[in-house]
């Protein structure tokens, strides 16, 4: 009987994912559940045929070049692959996959939570109640921004962006968007397409980011682009921290140009940015956009689907290189 492929799962995935993986693979798992260092990745590569990493494992060109020839596939447990040097993997002939589609609903839920929380002063209100400082009420108390009927701008109208637009329509919001290419009329569902940010940003009461972090999009939200938003706008980011110049964001918040922000990702993770945490009109979460039981199972199964296809000689559904 042929031996099972050896699979290294770098982080503690869902119980259902691990149970399925152990049926078809000899699984190596670190019970400490810590991000794997570059040296650890290189050392593990000597004894495995495949790796399921998360975005916490960084595959630079140097790391990829030192992977053992035994490694044949990297089946990412994530949609974003900015932690992987795809060109280096391609040169090595190592297949790379991701897990698209399955986390769109969960991420859009968090994006809308952040939008509502930033608009309605959730941090300030929660702090008042928890600290015992809620001692009064008046018509001017805790007045925030309305969401219903306002204009939402979306940058990146992929699967998550489209679900976000759908949720926004439930609040009677008008949706405008910028994307690399225009969607079909059926996909747009009435959303207004903008070829450039120059025309999109001035329309936005709310701006939600759903595009990948690439060389072209890093620092996309900066002093210049923030200035093009109307005074009193609200920024939401559930995509990647690298999209936002956090210094420029702070300046816009402190000047009063931005009313608030809702952030699930940061330039530095974990820990985020202590300077952002000082502002109660910045609603923050610790990068939990896809953190539901349903989605974690779906992500793990999608990664395993890609592995199963590869080791059966078929083309993985989500192959990137």
Active-site choice (20, 55, 176, 240): 240
57 is catalytic: no
Q: How would DSSP label each residue in 96-160? A: EE---STTHHHHHHHHHHHHHHHHTTHHHHHHHHHHT------TTTT-----TT-EEEEE--SHH
Whether residue 278 is found in the same domain as residue 297: no
How much is the average pLDDT of 282-300? 98
Whether residue 67 is found in the same domain as residue 111: no
Whether residue 32 is found in the same domain as residue 118: no
What tokens does 177 get? Answer: 């968007």
Residue 306 lies in a domain: yes
| Mean pLDDT for the chain overall | 97
Q: What is the CATH number of the domain that holds 183?
A: 3.40.50.720
Residue 302 lies in a domain: yes
Give this prediction's pTM: 0.94
Active-site choice (72, 269, 279, 319): 269
269 is catalytic: yes
Active-site choice (55, 210, 287, 302): 287
C-alpha dihedral, 82 to 83 to 88 to 91, nearest 10°: -80
Whether residue 189 is found in the same domain as residue 56: no
Give residue 250's domain range.
104-284
Whether residue 109 is found in the same domain as residue 220: yes
pLDDT at position 46 is 98
pLDDT at position 30 is 85
pLDDT at position 311 is 98
The span from the first CA to the last CA of the chain, in angstroms, equals 31
What tokens does 106 get? Answer: 């969960």
Residue 317 lies in a domain: no
Whether residue 129 is found in the same domain as residue 31: no
Residue 320 lies in a domain: no
176 is catalytic: no
Residue 1 lies in a domain: no
Residue 299 has pLDDT above 70, yes or no: yes
Whether residue 47 is found in the same domain as residue 190: no
Looking at the chain, the whole-number percentage of residues with pLDDT higher than 90 is: 98
Could you give the number of structural domains in the chain? 2
Strands, E, within 204-276: which ranges? 206-209, 233-237, 258-263
Whether residue 96 is found in the same domain as residue 185: no
pLDDT at position 18 is 98
How much is the average pLDDT of 22-30? 96
Whether residue 222 is found in the same domain as residue 234: yes
Exposure b/e, 221-230, CB count within 10 A at least 16 = b = bbeebbebbe
Residue 213 lies in a domain: yes
2 pLDDT tier (thresholds 50, 70, 90): low
Q: With 0-12 CB in 10 A as exposed, 13-18 as middle and 19+ as buried, what is 235?
A: buried
What digits encode the pLDDT tens for the residues 152-186? 999 999 999 999 999 999 999 999 999 999 999 99
Four-residue CA torsion sign, 249, 255, 256, 257? negative
Residue 1 has pLDDT above 70, yes or no: no
Whether residue 43 is found in the same domain as residue 134: no
pLDDT at position 309 is 98
What digits encode the pLDDT tens for the residues 92-119? 999 999 999 999 999 999 999 999 999 9
d(CA 58, CA 85): 9
Whether residue 78 is found in the same domain as residue 108: no
How much is the average pLDDT of 200-219? 97
126 pLDDT tier (thresholds 50, 70, 90): very high
pLDDT at position 31 is 84
pLDDT at position 182 is 98
pLDDT at position 269 is 93
What digits encode the pLDDT tens for the residues 31-53? 889 999 999 999 999 999 999 99
Residue 316 lies in a domain: no
Residue 174 lies in a domain: yes
Whether residue 35 is found in the same domain as residue 124: no
């Amino acid at each position: 009987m042929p031996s099972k492929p050896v699979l290294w799962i770098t982080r503690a995935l869902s119980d259902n994912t691990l149970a399925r993986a152990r049926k078809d693979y000899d699984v190596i798992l670190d019970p400490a559940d810590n991000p794997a260092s570059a040296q650890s990745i290189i050392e593990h590569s000597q004894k495995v045929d495949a790796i399921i990493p998360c975005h916490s494992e960084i595959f630079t060109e140097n790391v990829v070049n030192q992977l053992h020839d035994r490694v044949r596939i990297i089946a990412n447990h994530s949609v974003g692959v900015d932690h992987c040097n795809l060109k280096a993997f391609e040169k090595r002939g190592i297949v790379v996959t991701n897990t698209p589609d399955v986390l769109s609903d969960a991420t859009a839920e968090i994006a809308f939570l952040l939008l509502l929380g930033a608009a309605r002063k959730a941090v300030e209100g929660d702090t008042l109640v928890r600290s015992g400082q809620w001692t009064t009420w008046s018509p001017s108390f805790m007045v925030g921004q309305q969401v219903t009927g306002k204009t939402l701008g979306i940058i990146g109208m992929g699967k998550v962006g489209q679900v976000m637009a759908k949720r926004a329509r439930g609040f009677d919001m008008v949706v405008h968007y910028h994307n690399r290419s225009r969607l079909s009329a059926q996909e747009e569902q009435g959303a207004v397409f903008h070829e450039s940010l120059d025309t999109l940003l001035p329309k936005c009461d709310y701006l939600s980011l759903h595009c990948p972090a690439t060389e072209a999009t890093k620092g996309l939200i900066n002093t210049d682009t923030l200035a093009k938003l109307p005074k009193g706008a609200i920024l939401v980011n559930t995509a990647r921290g690298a999209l936002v110049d956090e210094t420029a964001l702070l300046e816009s918040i402190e000047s009063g140009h931005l009313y608030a922000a809702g952030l699930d990702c940061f330039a530095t993770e974990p820990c985020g940015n202590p300077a952002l945490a000082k502002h109660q009109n910045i609603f923050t979460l610790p990068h939990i956009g896809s953190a539901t039981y349903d989605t974690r199972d779906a992500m793990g199964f999608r990664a395993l689907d890609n592995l199963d296809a590869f080791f059966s000689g078929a083309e993985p559904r989500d192959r990137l290189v």
